[in-house]
Amino acid sequence: MANEKNSNSEQIVVGLDIGTTKICAIVGKRNEFGKINILGFGKAMSDGVQRGVVNNIEKTVNAIRTAVEEAEKHSGIKVEVVHVGIAGEHVRSMQHKGIITLNNPDFEITHEDVARLHEDMFKIATQPGTEIIHVLPQEYTVDNQTSIIDPIGMSGVRLEGNFHIVTGQMTAANNIYKCVRRAGLEVAELILEPLASSAAVLTQEEKEAGVCLVDIGGGTTDIAVFENNIIRHTAVIPFGGNIVTEDIKQGCKVMKKHAELLKIQYGSALAEALNEDVIISIPGPRDRPAKEIHKSMLARIIQSRMEEILEFVLAEIKNSGYEDKLVAGIVVTGGGAQLQHMKQCVEYVTGIDTRIGLPGEHLASGLVDEVNFPMFATGTGLVIMGLESGEYEIAPATGKRELQQQAFGSNSKGGPKISFIHKVKNWFESTLTSTGDFIE
């Protein structure tokens, strides 16, 4: 069953991307060469999510069921456990420093010491209604020695750590968890979507050199800056592809479904890059004549909005302090990256070298051609991160799935005993206990 280890020790993981425009389920496993075999995938329209936040439980549950059932049909595997992405304008990030004094007699830093420092980060005060999703280590200081990546085994009296801390609203996370549970699934992990996308489309060389990931989704644009193989900055911009569709709808005076088709089939992010001006005919409403739209006018509408979004992206890059350290430039992914001339538009606005990020580099076999698109980067990344964390295993005594104790979350070793997903699960179950609304 998905997310379990079979008799051949093959772990199968399911990534569930709950986005504003689509809900996608991808089933995968790692082969002997470390690449990902895509066993199946499913996709459904997302009508119950706005800007990454669930606003209609029933519609979201139905879409999750549709996507998962399609993935089960392709893969022939019964899906029970999923790794779910979380994003939305409620996600915030900040930098924080922690300090502990070593109390072991030989003053040698151990896993337990680093875990204690990470655990302290989960105790810092956050805004009311928010909880910490990820604690991402930047670098450590042992006594007065700075810029240490791995302090374990070193001798010292005082251990300091700089951390990038990501927070999110518990209500938003609880609604995601509720939808997945009502769809008959268990949540193994809630993962920040920019982290998942980066796992799918960025190389280790890019993360080492310095790179900015820009994931343009339907409702939001997610940003993650890496340097020296460490995540340095994350941000969520509350604009994405849907606002471009609305602009086309208003500017061309067409129905929303036609505006979306225009964007997908004929949309260009840079009007100057068009070689010729094509006239596109759109069927009018009942008993109304067809409407003719110039492709150049469509491109100008799209370019205007994309430039605005990219100005926000550039502002976040400058705010991160790493604008001059992005040796590997910008990698654009997500559904918005599929617009024609998107690479040129990003370079035009930011002045930074850019490429389009595809998840194909990490894929080996299976349905590679079907998912090797920027819009499936997050779902593929959730599979990759799920395989790295391996949260679920079969308990020998009971034969049932049980959560392993995780430490600092999805991409660290050791850490707090109660992770973000455990807090969401406890809150959800306490709500069910008080209301009596248990899910079978």
CATH number at residue 412: 3.30.1490.110
Domain total in the chain: 2
Same domain, 256 and 119: no
Contact 294, 279 (CB under 8 A): yes
43, 370 Cβ separation under 8 angstroms: no
Domain boundary among the residues 294, 325, 357 is at 357
CB 40 within 8 A of CB 75: yes
Same domain, 109 and 220: no
| 32 falls within a domain | no
Full-model pTM: 0.85
Tokens, residue 427: 């809150």
In a domain, 280, yes or no: yes
Amino acid 434: pLDDT: 54
Q: Let me know if residue 420 belongs to a domain.
A: yes
Are both 344 and 212 inside the same structural domain?
A: yes
Residue 286 has pLDDT above 80, yes or no: no
CATH of the domain at 305: 3.30.420.40
> 181 or 425: whose pLDDT is higher?
181
- Pair (226, 346) in one structural domain: yes
Same domain, 220 and 305: yes
Both 240 and 344 in one domain: the answer is yes
Regarding whether 119 and 210 lie in a shared domain, the answer is: no
Q: Is residue 268 part of a domain?
A: yes
User: What was the pLDDT predicted at 265?
Assistant: 92
Residue 393 is assigned to a structural domain of this protein: no
The pLDDT confidence band at residue 15, using thresholds 50, 70 and 90, is very high
- Of 357, 374, 394, at which residue does a domain stop? 357
**To the nearest whole number, what is the mean pLDDT of the chain?**
85
Domain that holds residue 135: 92-171+405-435
- How far is C-alpha 225 from the geometric centre of its chain's CA atoms? 14
DSSP structural state of residue 35? P
Best CA proximity match to 353, nearest among 331, 323, 322: 331
Q: Of 31 and 426, which is predicted with more confidence?
A: 31
Percent of residues, the chain, with pLDDT higher than 70: 88
245, 335 contact by CB (below 8 A): no
- Given this model, what pLDDT does residue 356 score? 96
Is 248 within a domain?
yes
Asked if residue 256 and residue 305 are part of one domain, the reply reads yes
> Does residue 22 lie within any of the structural domains?
no
Higher-confidence position of 328 and 87: 328
Three-state SS at 222: strand
Same structural domain, 131 and 256: no
Going by pLDDT thresholds of 50, 70 and 90, the confidence category of residue 363 is confident
DSSP tag of 359: G
Question: Per-residue pLDDT tens for 49-96?
Answer: 888 889 999 999 999 999 999 999 989 999 999 999 998 888 888 899
Contact call for residues 336 and 217 (beta carbons, < 8 A): yes
Q: Is residue 338 part of a domain?
A: yes
Are 223 and 297 within one domain?
yes
Residues 224 and 305 in one domain: yes
pLDDT at 3: 54
Same domain for 275 and 320, yes or no, is yes
HEC-encoded secondary structure of 373-435: CHHHHHHHHHHHHHHHHCCEEECCCCCCEEECCCCCCCCCCCCCCCCHHHHHHHHHHHHHHHH
